[in-house]
Amino acid sequence: MLLRENRVFAVAVGGEPKDLSVMGRMGAGELEDIEGLTFSSTAGKAVYRHSASHILAHAVKELFPDAKLAIGPATAEGFYYDFDIHVPFTPADLEAIEKRMLELIKKNSPFIRKEISKTEAAEIFGRMGETYKAELLQDIASGETVSIYEEGGFVDLCRGPHVPNTGRIKAVKLLSIAGAYWRGDEKRKMLQRIYGTAFDSKEELKKYLEFLEEVKKRDHRKLGRELDLFSINEEIGAGLILWHPNGAIIRKTIEDFWRDEHLKADYKLLFSPHMARLDLWRKSGHWDFYRENMYSPMEVEGMEYEIKPMNCPFHLAVYKSGLKSYRDLPVRYAELGTVYRFERSGVLHGLMRVRGFTQDDAHIFAREDQLEGEILNILDFTLFILNTFGFEEYDVYLSTRPEKYVGSPENWELATKALRLALEAKGLKYDIDPGEGVFYGPKIDIKVKDSLGRAWQCSTIQVDFNNPERFDVSYRGTDGKEHRPIMIHRALMGSLERFFGILIEHYAGDFPLWLAPAQVEVLTIAERHIEFAGSVSAALRKEGIRVQENFENEKIGYKIRHSAMRKVPYSVIIGDKETESGGAALSARKKNGESIGPFPIAGLIDFLTEEIKTRR
């Protein structure tokens, strides 16, 4: 039986995680339903890391007896524990705490579960001065008893389960210190949070730390500067992006691709202004529901105007500018619309979280009978676009009706069903996020998995029952009467800025040829080769290939290194051989050192244009 393996440190009884020790108290019949928990399962990881967080708390209490305990759960990547402490922790404290943790692990103290009455627990934690635990106790409504865990003399209120003893934790690492509000509520006290992670072996921990290194190396802010892609300038303002030539050419390439594909998919392209009268935003409901993300209005000739946080009202206005018949539907409007949203200074982050960004927005007005088909179209289209950028794995979520909503329950049901059927027709696995829909309709969110396996939310498909009502949009049906179309909002990449940030990290700055700012660099061996090299780069440039020249007076090794570090996909070296043969035999070098060719110039052009065309 699996349980005999020493990899098992807890069990699940009927899916419920329990301490390993429950085995001894079970009858033979009950053992059927039992499953060993190891580090390979999500539930197992949580038990393991939660145990590590207890050890963290234990170590902190020993070193800082004044610290009060708050909560210490496992997270997806590790664990944390929140403490109320007068003087914030320093990085040196972190090292000392980690050292103490290793000592506690070495002691191999058993985790002992006790069930006691709530009043008894209140008494214990009250005596210990653990006010946060006391508050937690009050909120545990169900049942008269609670469980506490003791390990090496350290007692904590805890549902459990835990690993059998502290020595079971094989590898642990404290990672960072951060402030965090008690219960995530900014009106309450700011606590000190220590983040850490734990693994079942030193090798796994090492691999994880390497992963963190890799994440750091790929940081789009770092690569953005190194590759001269974009910048953010204090003088211009926080959260506002300057696209440099290298970034701008990538954006232009993405935009061209996006527009071309939208036209092929029978969307109509729109452009709309960056501001509009405040009355428009009152009508759309944004001023009521979204004001905290909007900037203050500005006055123009006695009238108030507002910079746009969204594109939808403009698209509605275009729709309404003429009568629509059922024959016109579905109407698909798409725009790369730049919006501005207020974000608190503390949340801004490179390209990922900014104050001005361009949405790849579209609004589709459809008849009820077209809804499912349209959603299916959008899903297909979305996956095609995401695929082109090398994203092949997705996490899909279907969000259903929240507590506060507009529209009729019947409509919600209809739309949710259409979303679900479309997902199923595509054979996409999805999770339901109950009650997480927007107030105006249900939605599908797609998170892409990047090359490091990290999930990023990009695409969203939202049904909207609200705006068609508010703006009184309609179409003339076969019966000659006015009908209300259903509106779908959707974005594929979400925001160009954010998507660009994700792409930078996904590719680690090594953009595929079709996106690379400079696609080829022509390098000369010596001064006498400059003239011919110039003719080679001119020939490539004439074919629309982005060429860069390095005719500097440097050794070829230096130029190759420079080119590779700037992540230029190909370099062509021009020396005596090439010059003498008049370009009959050109070879190119990939940035990793692999060589292609030799080709005549035309052959090199064909090779490159083919790779560009296929967007590999």
Residue 387 burial (CB count, 10 A): 13
For 504, residues 6+ apart whose C-beta sits below 8 A from its C-beta are: 218, 220, 223, 224, 229, 351
Q: Residue 342 Cβ, how far from RNA at the closest point, in Å?
A: 9
| Cβ-based burial of 337 (10 A; exposed 0-12, middle 13-18, buried ≥19) | buried
The residue type of 62 is E
Closer residue to RNA, CB minimum distance, 44 or 350? 350
282 catalytic? Reply is no
* Nearest-angstrom CA–CA distance, 447 and 386: 10
Q: Which stretch binds RNA (CB under 7 A): 1-9, 107-115, 125-133, 350-358?
A: 350-358
- Helix, strand, or coil (residue 581): coil
HSE (CB half, 13 Å, CA atoms) of 141? 0
162, 262, 359, 490: the catalytic one is 359
Q: In the structure encoding, which two tokens stand for residue 610, read together? A: 């083919």
Among 217, 561, 613, 616, binds RNA (CB under 7 A): 561
* Nearest-angstrom CA–CA distance, 359 and 339: 7
341 catalytic? Reply is yes
286, 489, 506, 566: the catalytic one is 489
Q: Residue 411 Cβ, how far from RNA at the closest point, in Å?
A: 21
Residue appearing with tokens 């001005």: 356
359 catalytic? Reply is yes
Number of residues that bind RNA (CB under 7 A): 68
12 binds RNA (CB under 7 A): no
88 binds RNA (CB under 7 A): yes
Q: Residue 40 Cβ, how far from RNA at the closest point, in Å?
A: 25
* Nearest-angstrom CA–CA distance, 384 and 426: 13
Smallest CA-to-CA distance from 448 within 502, 409, 496, 408 is with 502
Q: Which stretch binds RNA (CB under 7 A): 234-242, 269-277, 375-383, 411-419?
A: 234-242
Closer residue to RNA, CB minimum distance, 103 or 580? 580
591 binds RNA (CB under 7 A): yes
Q: Which stretch binds RNA (CB under 7 A): 181-189, 295-303, 416-424, 607-615?
A: 181-189
Q: Which stretch binds RNA (CB under 7 A): 59-67, 102-110, 188-196, 247-255?
A: 188-196
Pairing of strands 10-13, 34-37: antiparallel
595 binds RNA (CB under 7 A): yes
Sheet arrangement for strand 10-13: 16-19, 10-13, 34-37
403-425 burial code (b ≥16 CB/10 A, e <16): eebbbeeebbebbbebbbebbee
Among 291, 470, 577, 615, binds RNA (CB under 7 A): 577
19, 361, 450, 464: the catalytic one is 361
- Say if residue 161 is preceded by a cis peptide, omega within 30 of 0: yes
Q: Going residue by residue from 449 to 488, which x/- string records binding to RNA, judged by CB under 7 A?
A: --------xx-x----------------------------
Query: How does DSSP assign 459-489, residue by residue?
Result: EEEEEESHHHHHTT--EE-TTSSEEPPEEEE
238 binds RNA (CB under 7 A): yes
237 binds RNA (CB under 7 A): yes
Among 17, 78, 442, 494, binds RNA (CB under 7 A): 494
Rounded (to 5) percent helix, strand, coil in the chain? 40, 30, 30
Q: In the structure encoding, which two tokens stand for residue 591, read together? A: 């940035």
Q: In the structure encoding, which two tokens stand for residue 261, read together? A: 């594909």
Among 43, 209, 317, 348, binds RNA (CB under 7 A): 348
73 binds RNA (CB under 7 A): no
190 binds RNA (CB under 7 A): yes
165 binds RNA (CB under 7 A): no
For residue 391, give the DSSP letter.
-
Q: Which stretch binds RNA (CB under 7 A): 180-188, 312-320, 514-522, 536-544?
A: 180-188
Closer residue to RNA, CB minimum distance, 13 or 180? 180
* Nearest-angstrom CA–CA distance, 247 and 512: 14
Q: Residue 147 Cβ, how far from RNA at the closest point, in Å?
A: 25
520-540 burial code (b ≥16 CB/10 A, e <16): bbbbbbeeebbebbeebbebb
Contact of 213 with 202, CB cutoff 8 Å: no
Pairing of strands 570-574, 520-524: parallel
Closer residue to RNA, CB minimum distance, 49 or 113? 49
Among 575, 607, 609, 611, binds RNA (CB under 7 A): 575
Q: Which of residues 511-540 bind RNA (CB under 7 A)?
A: 525-528
* Torsion on CA atoms 96, 99, 101, 102, rounded to nearest 10: 180
321 binds RNA (CB under 7 A): no
587 binds RNA (CB under 7 A): yes
54, 443, 567, 591: the catalytic one is 443
168, 363, 401, 498: the catalytic one is 363
Q: Residue 552 Cβ, how far from RNA at the closest point, in Å?
A: 8
* Nearest-angstrom CA–CA distance, 366 and 326: 9
85 binds RNA (CB under 7 A): no
Residues engaged in binding RNA (CB under 7 A)? 88, 90, 176-181, 184, 186, 190, 192-193, 221, 225, 232, 234, 237-239, 341, 343-350, 352-355, 357, 359, 457-458, 460, 491, 494-495, 497-498, 525-528, 553-558, 560-561, 564-565, 573, 575-578, 587, 589, 591-593, 595
Active site residues: 312, 341, 359, 361, 363, 443, 489
